[in-house]
Amino acid sequence: MIIRRKTKQIQVGGVAVGGDSPISVQSMTNTDTRDVEQTVAQICRLQAAGCDIVRVAVLDNEAALAIKAIQEKISIPLIADIHFDSRLAIAAMENGADGIRINPGNLGGEEKIALVVAAAKLHGVPIRVGVNSGSIEKDLLKTHGYPTPDNAEALIESAMRNVRLVEKHGYDKIKISIKSADVLTTINSYQQLSKTTDYPLHLGVTEAGGLIAGTVKSSVALGILLSKGIGDTFRISLTRDPVEEVRVGFELLRSLKIRERGPELISCPTCGRTQIDLFGLAEEVERFVQTMETPLKVAVMGCVVNGPGEARQADIGVAGGNGVGIIFKKGEVWKKVHEDDLLNIFMAELKKMEEEGQKERNSAKS
């Protein structure tokens, strides 16, 4: 059982982060924030995939102003990511950002930090103090050396120094991230940081890579941390469509039995016993289950020798035979159909189950 580390709770728009709130899944748009239409379209896709909090890059005043129009069309909290320019941080908050991600030390001095913190207080906006291995102050690197798996001192000290810059102005709606591109450094740093502070922690491996490398690196680092109860919110960084980041995020939470969303897909790797186009079938089913919200177990298996048995816990599954497909429910055979009809009949049943799940969710709400 995972025992969650106790942290303070902050509010990012309508989403609580830290304390006993659910671990939230974040992502970041890769559109030009000034292009409201494109940015809203991407955020809506992220929302549909289950993204809890979205971050946008704010590079200039036009992007800060665009936040207002974006906020009118989305319903998840929006965080403005800002570097170096305190005026942009203030403008983003004035235009409705639910949170800002800054590195206070690079805002240009004490006076500017004070102005940003005053604006955060005024608008009730939390601040993520985000430190990366690449952004550590020179004096800390000189004293502690560059972060390695055995030495997280510079990262921790940099984060806490930046946190103190905010606290000094009487503000504590803070969460912290200390990102590295190295898995072991990430694990060690967050473990140490979690012993140093009780502010909520935003986890992530920065510049993790493409779909495969990025998923593996992030899942190893974040999986280990989350399994130790460390981490209140996270982003899986992938050089990909950000929607994939959200999907990987929920699979990670599901695999640790922390949180689930939509169906779990169980599919066999295929072997010499497979006599149907299982890859094609699995792809179609996977595409559809990504649009579903009902937490079902769905199995796609290559044969009836092991299929139903291996997926006995599945709510619905399909197993290939010789020119036929066996559809089973809860491990018992439900229907045997010709291979040509298999996909249509299986998908129709899945859709029915999703509609039933939707009705149940609606009646639970009312």
Q: Which stretch binds ligand SF4 (CB under 6 A): 63-71, 214-222, 262-270, 282-290?
A: 262-270
| Exposure of 170 in the CB half-sphere (CA atoms within 13 A) | 6
Q: How far is the CB of 166 from ligand SF4 (least distance, A)?
A: 54
If one asks whether residue 333 binds ligand SF4 (CB under 6 A), the answer comes out as no
Q: Which stretch binds ligand SF4 (CB under 6 A): 56-64, 103-111, 298-306, 345-353?
A: 298-306
- How far is the C-alpha of 358 from the C-alpha of 312, rounded, in Å? 24
Q: How far is the CB of 339 from ligand SF4 (least distance, A)?
A: 15
If one asks whether residue 325 binds ligand SF4 (CB under 6 A), the answer comes out as no
Residue 222, helix vs strand vs coil:
helix
CA distances from 299 to 135, 211, 266, 275, 287 (A): 45, 23, 5, 17, 14
47's tokens: 């929302």
- How far is the C-alpha of 233 from the C-alpha of 53, rounded, in Å? 9
Nearer to ligand SF4, 48 or 271 (CB): 271
Contacts of 221 (CB under 8 A, 6+ apart): 183, 186, 187, 203, 205
If one asks whether residue 270 binds ligand SF4 (CB under 6 A), the answer comes out as yes
Contact between 169 and 112 under an 8 Å Cβ cutoff? The reply is no
Nearer to ligand SF4, 161 or 273 (CB): 273
- Helix, strand and coil content of the chain, in percent to the nearest 5, comes to 45, 20, 35
CA distances from 342 to 161, 324, 337 (A): 61, 8, 6
Figure out which of the listed residues 151, 274, 324, 334 binds ligand SF4, where binding follows CB under 6 A: 274
The DSSP call for residue 205 is B
Contact between 252 and 223 under an 8 Å Cβ cutoff? The reply is yes
Q: Which stretch binds ligand SF4 (CB under 6 A): 9-17, 28-36, 235-243, 271-279?
A: 271-279
If one asks whether residue 273 binds ligand SF4 (CB under 6 A), the answer comes out as yes
If one asks whether residue 271 binds ligand SF4 (CB under 6 A), the answer comes out as yes
Q: Which stretch binds ligand SF4 (CB under 6 A): 95-103, 135-143, 172-180, 266-274?
A: 266-274
Q: Which stretch binds ligand SF4 (CB under 6 A): 54-62, 86-94, 239-247, 299-307?
A: 299-307
Q: How many residues bind ligand SF4 (CB under 6 A)?
A: 13
| Exposure of 273 in the CB half-sphere (CA atoms within 13 A) | 13
If one asks whether residue 275 binds ligand SF4 (CB under 6 A), the answer comes out as no
Say if residue 116 is exposed, middle or buried (CB neighbours under 10 Å; 0-12, 13-18, 19+): buried
Figure out which of the listed residues 2, 305, 347, 348 binds ligand SF4, where binding follows CB under 6 A: 305
- How far is the C-alpha of 299 from the C-alpha of 177, rounded, in Å? 37
If one asks whether residue 306 binds ligand SF4 (CB under 6 A), the answer comes out as yes
Nearer to ligand SF4, 246 or 301 (CB): 301
If one asks whether residue 299 binds ligand SF4 (CB under 6 A), the answer comes out as no
Burial track 278-289 (b if 16+ CB lie within 10 A, e otherwise): beebbeebeebb
If one asks whether residue 321 binds ligand SF4 (CB under 6 A), the answer comes out as no
Go through the chain and tell me how many residues it has.
Answer: 366
Counting DSSP H helices and E strands in the chain, the numbers are 12, 15
User: Of residues 162-181, which lie at the interface with ligand SF4 (CB under 6 A)?
Assistant: none
Q: Which residue is at the shortest CB distance from ligand SF4?
A: 302
Q: Which stretch binds ligand SF4 (CB under 6 A): 7-15, 134-142, 302-310, 327-335?
A: 302-310
| Exposure of 42 in the CB half-sphere (CA atoms within 13 A) | 23
Figure out which of the listed residues 269, 362, 363, 365 binds ligand SF4, where binding follows CB under 6 A: 269
If one asks whether residue 268 binds ligand SF4 (CB under 6 A), the answer comes out as yes
Q: Which stretch binds ligand SF4 (CB under 6 A): 16-24, 106-114, 301-309, 356-364?
A: 301-309
Figure out which of the listed residues 116, 238, 303, 350 binds ligand SF4, where binding follows CB under 6 A: 303
Q: Which residues are at the interface with ligand SF4 (CB under 6 A)?
A: 268-271, 273-274, 301-303, 305-307, 310
